[in-house]
Amino acid sequence: MPGVAKPIRADGGIAMVGNFDVDVEHQQRVSHLFGPMPKEMRDDTAFMDRIHAYIPGWDFPKINKSDLTGHFGLVSDFLAECWTRLRDISRLSTVLPEITYGGALSGRDTTAVNKTLNGLIKLMQPNPDAPVSAELLEWAVKVAMEYRRRVKEQQKRIGSAEFRNTHFSYRIRENGVETFVTTPEIHSENTISEDPLPPGQVWTLNTGGQEDATGLYKIEITTGPGSGVKILNKPAPPQFQEAVKYAEQNLYSKSKTLIGDRDPRSHEFSVQLRAFDASKTGNGVGMAVLIGLCSAILEKNTKGGLVIVGQLNLGGSLDNVYNAVNLAELAVEKGATTILVPLNARKQLNDLSDDMITKINIQYYTDLKDCLVKALGD
């Protein structure tokens, strides 16, 4: 029945499939994903904490005659027997040594993710003697974490403090990159979320100019074998090309300080600028580009909720920021919890209103390395 979450079994635990009369985004605005449930259950965090997985907004059709068989009991009984036998088998002992969970996952969250992971792998690879491919394992871990995180996000919306840390992450094998799992329907694409960004991705605000308004940008950088920096935007705004050029030269000249013994000249970087406001030039975002380049080559995530402000010059010094108060106010409007700005903006930010000061954490950096350390959280 639309509007009611329907329980299904998921390898020894309960999973929920939520059908809504409205779309998921609207449901999030007016309530939370468990809102349509009976009042005795909708805000009961103890009940929610026993749900292993939640899939919202799926509109399952009614059963009709075409879904049924003429051989009474054959299909349903055979499928039930298959699932019953699969429940007696566990694949966790073979896959868990390959996985490292992030620190936010513990207690019932770990149990829930493991049970969902186990069920997904058994359904996708029923043969217990067949190896589980890295692709299948990563898909199953990501899905299991996303479904469990959705439960925790709803508990957080209700206001329970103990459920605030939902930054679920995993690493496949020892040399894998830590990957954070998101729940896309909860955060708008053009606002800064509290989730750490993948290596090479950075939120930034441009400093603006006489012919360019201030706006929010996301810089996305990938790296591979080769050399040089390639801008994917076609045509690339001249101001952004200049910012990338300054960042590239500072990466090469200060590589020992920033990235240790890694050789940036043996990597090819692909850079893309995404604009979310009227400002499209990418003017004055050189520091964010440099942090993105370092993050990509170090394979480290940038902190969640963070936006970086600052423009470089070729010598590595930092240009003055002249509209720091406006930038801080825009950062709050865009959902940032921390703004990282050059120390030369400190006196300006003393004029920030009391209300704004309570909404954002202002961190200052003195040089390139200081900014990188604070952006990566090391």
* Domains delineated in the chain: 1-185 (no CATH), 201-376 (3.30.230.10)
- Quick one: pLDDT at residue 130? 86
Q: 161-212, pLDDT tens digit by residue?
A: 555 667 888 889 877 777 888 777 666 667 888 888 889 999 999 876 556 6
Q: Say if strands 179-180 and 169-172 run parallel, antiparallel, or are unpaired.
A: antiparallel
Q: Predicted confidence band at 2 (pLDDT cuts at 50, 70, 90)? A: very low
- Give the bridge partners for 273, in sequence order: 219
Distance CA(253)–CA(40), nearest Å, equals 63
Residue 74 reports pLDDT greater than 70? no
Residue 8 reports pLDDT greater than 60? no
Q: Is 225 helix (H, G, I), strand (E, B) or coil?
A: strand
- Quick one: pLDDT at residue 226? 92
Q: Predicted confidence band at 48 (pLDDT cuts at 50, 70, 90)? A: confident
- Quick one: pLDDT at residue 51? 85
Residue 40 reports pLDDT greater than 90? no
- Quick one: pLDDT at residue 66? 74
Q: Predicted confidence band at 7 (pLDDT cuts at 50, 70, 90)? A: very low
The whole-number average pLDDT for the span 327-341 is 93
| Residue 21 tokens, joined | 């009369």
Residue 18 reports pLDDT greater than 80? no
| Burial profile 257-295: b = 16 or more Cβ within 10 angstroms, e = fewer | ebbeeeebeebebbbbbebbeebbbbbbbbbbbbbbbbb
What percent of the chain lies above the pLDDT cut of 70? 86
Q: Which one is predicted more confidently, 177 or 307? A: 307
Q: Is 80 helix (H, G, I), strand (E, B) or coil?
A: helix
- Quick one: pLDDT at residue 60? 64
Residue 56 reports pLDDT greater than 90? no
Residue 126 reports pLDDT greater than 90? no
- Quick one: pLDDT at residue 252? 95
Q: 209-226, pLDDT tens digit by residue?
A: 556 678 899 999 999 999
Residue 5 reports pLDDT greater than 70? no
Q: Would you call the peptide bond into 235 cis, given omega within 30 degrees of 0 as the criterion?
A: yes
Show Cβ contacts of residue 263 under 8 Å, excluding neighbours closer than 6 positions.
Answer: 255
- Quick one: pLDDT at residue 1? 30
Q: Predicted confidence band at 159 (pLDDT cuts at 50, 70, 90)? A: low
- Quick one: pLDDT at residue 9? 43
Q: Predicted confidence band at 332 (pLDDT cuts at 50, 70, 90)? A: very high
Distance CA(319)–CA(237), nearest Å, equals 20
CB distance 155 to 44 below 8 Å: no
What mean pLDDT value characterizes the chain? 84
Distance CA(258)–CA(170), nearest Å, equals 26
Residue 35 reports pLDDT greater than 60? yes
The whole-number average pLDDT for the span 296-314 is 92
- Quick one: pLDDT at residue 211? 60
The whole-number average pLDDT for the span 248-266 is 94
Of 342, 291, 351, nearest to 320 by C-alpha is 342
CB distance 142 to 179 below 8 Å: yes
Residue type, 57: G
- Quick one: pLDDT at residue 212? 67
Kind and range of the H or E run holding 269: strand 267-275
Q: Is the dihedral of CA 185, 191, 197, 199 positive or negative?
A: positive
Q: Which one is predicted more confidently, 113 or 16? A: 113
- Rounded to 10 deg, the angle between the 108-124 and 134-158 helix axes is 140
| Residue 329 tokens, joined | 């106010």
